[in-house]
Structure 1
């Protein structure tokens, strides 16, 4: 945002640059589907349809997939989400929304001033105070989809297209969407708290940094080599703090929220996934609300 033998363990270092684990029998094949019994990643060739979803050949041969409760009737992603036929659908929708708003900005010159993230400022055109402190909380989320310059939206959308699909495939559509929105809100909330009250900011960078933090958490969960993502994260943080006119608060806020929410999603116990995921997201939202309320109280007395 301007002012980016037991059950074998999962294969190590498999799956390539997609960020997904590799099939336990074919490590070079990235997949977001796991066996519903042993939870090992399996590629389409190894998927065996059974009464409790897709299972790996070994579980089918051993009969370990029979006689159990059917709590897993469909193939599940690493985080427990339903496996979708198009693991890029939500990412495509987010891209479309950002581009649509970008076009609308050019069609309406006053749109930016009504939707950007600003704490409290005086609008001389309408002779009134505007901003989140004036009750315009919608700015916290509308600013996440708002861009003014072509290089700005181009960089953010390229980052979204690179980071989004692997996370969407690993988390599932609903969890991925919630993580993206919470990271964007987290970036806006920290900007609201720490930036100058009349300093406007806009852009998807907070949400993008959230995806970057979530990617790091996911790779750590899969025991992949962390060096590439840590180097990328470090470079982005250096760029954030050294380049002028960048709302570093939004980047840091998005990064922290994205990483925290992702941690709760990928480390939740299998038997309590839904509960842990819900509590994680609710807790993140409550913290964001608390930050906004605190800052509003500071600005309005």
Structure 2
């Protein structure tokens, strides 16, 4: 019995010693799964990564559970996009120390690659430009719900370029908290760069055959991916997936589907709106599904590459020429 009484003290002492030597694990928590993919690549073999947003849920309307709040509070590193994307996490993130709160959209290197959003919710049919716009971070008042209007597209995990910037930022923070693991973290970042470059080249070749095909997506989430690979969207149904498009907008889209001979209309696993079935009924347009969160992919060293490849295949499966 006496030996058991000393075990907690021994464990505590060992924990302190590990912490002093920079070997203690850093509990990495990400807001959404794609950021978990990137973090897992960098933290592989070093420390575990967990994700707040459950599979099947949407970052647009999720509400934290008490267990989520505790997990964020105890995190050694929280990785998220920012308050305009994950409003559900803003309060908990604000209570963390600055060195434990990695808000990616606040990083100058990422801000310079953000793409401006449209301000008019009725003007959705124009295709995005082929070049990234340089913008500054928004200092405007944040609403309680996710909002795109008058701000910037923050689906940054769909940009391979910004994903690499995010990976580098995560690497740098982990090196600060676990300096003894720098060699392994450096190696992981190098592997991520190589695998991302290889995947990027393969995906570009895969999408080259369908880059001129026209289509609609459910909501305005894919601009970075589409610009990076030169795809040709006709537009999207809604800026905010919590708000269904009106009858006039649906009529405009239906006309577009016919006049522009759109190849496909894409839904999402998180949102299965009946409006997509309604607007495509009676047309020859195909229906596909794009998963911007990689819900069926498990966290691993190569999960981000799998995520991009899966998204590419989802585009191709619906946009490939019909027999």
Question: By the TM > 0.5 criterion, same fold?
Answer: no
Larger strand proportion, structure 1 or 2?
2
Larger helix proportion, structure 1 or 2?
1
> Could you state the TM-score of these two structures normalised by the residue count of structure 1?
0.32
